[in-house]
A and B are shown apart, each in its own frame.
Chain A
Amino acid sequence: SSELTQDPAVSVALGQTVRITCQGDSLRTYYATWYQQKLGQAPALVIYGKNNRPSGIPDRFSGSTSGNTASLTITGAQAEDEADYYCNSRDSSGNHVIFGGGTKLTVL
């Protein structure tokens, strides 16, 4: 399939751990890449590849994959982590990029 499915909304208590998932058949071939988008800003890369963080991204962000499901885990969520999170991968042809529908994370 050429779709990535994300839960529309997830909430987490301050300091707790939250997992945001991205599901799709293409994830059996391609790792998901994760982006954080805060209100009024462009998306920013947070996790790429197996579990790589760009410089400046806190180590409380981590990524993992199992079968057709990729996960972004925030261990000890902070208020500043409240944002929309998007995953992307490539479709089954490998020539096109696909995005998940996004997950709105609320930190309570």
Chain B
Amino acid sequence: VQLQESGPGLVKPSQTLSLTCTVSGGSVRSGSFYWSWIRQPAGKGLEWIGRIYTSGSTNYNPSLKSRVTISLDTSKNQFSLRLSSVTAADTAMYYCASSYDYAWGSDRYTWFDPWGQGTLVTVSS
């Protein structure tokens, strides 16, 4: 499976950031996977934005929940991110990734693999 992000590299403050992740070598409808967005401001750490399950159910980072929408387009084998009312603080490298929640007995964990190469989004007028 390979993932590739696409979308505008420059967004004006107060507008909506929109990115798409195209999945190849696999289907967004298959398996028990989540399709996730993670971002990373320059020189800083990773921040999970949210994820969508193959069924369409979503989980969002509580700190971004009011501004985030993640959706699935099974006809195009893509999933998308919309982040509204952006400010300079939303400037970051945005990654899409496949993730999986494993649970068997007391063994529980979540992994992200594979990742897209990332796309840089700058918020500026």
Contact = CB atoms under 8 A, between A and B. Distances in A.
A67 B36 CA distance: 28
Contacts of A88: 46, 48, 110-112
Given A33-B112, A97-B99, A42 B118 contact: yes
Interface of B is mostly: strand
* Interface size, A (range): 20 to 34
* Interface size, B (range): 20 to 34
Interface stretch (A9-17, A46-54, A72-80): A46-54
Nearest to A98: B48
Interface stretch (B9-17, B18-26, B74-82, B101-109): B101-109
Contact of B112 (A29, A30, A35): A35
B46 A96 contact: no
A50 B61 CA distance: 25
A49 B117 contact: no
A103 to B, nearest CB: 10
B45 A49 contact: no
Given A86-B45, A96-B62, A33 B111 contact: yes
Interface in A19-45: 29-33, 35, 42-45
A1 interface: no
B106 to A, nearest CB: 9
Which 9 A-B residue pairings sit nearest by Cβ, starting from the closest?
A31-B109, A45-B113, A97-B48, A42-B115, A48-B111, A99-B46, A102-B45, A33-B111, A101-B45
Interface of B: 36, 38, 45-48, 51, 59-62, 95, 99, 101-102, 107-113, 115-118
Given A43-B46, A88-B48, A99-B47, 10 more contacts: A30-B109, A33-B112, A35-B46, A42-B95, A44-B115, A45-B111, A96-B60, A99-B46, A100-B45, A102-B45
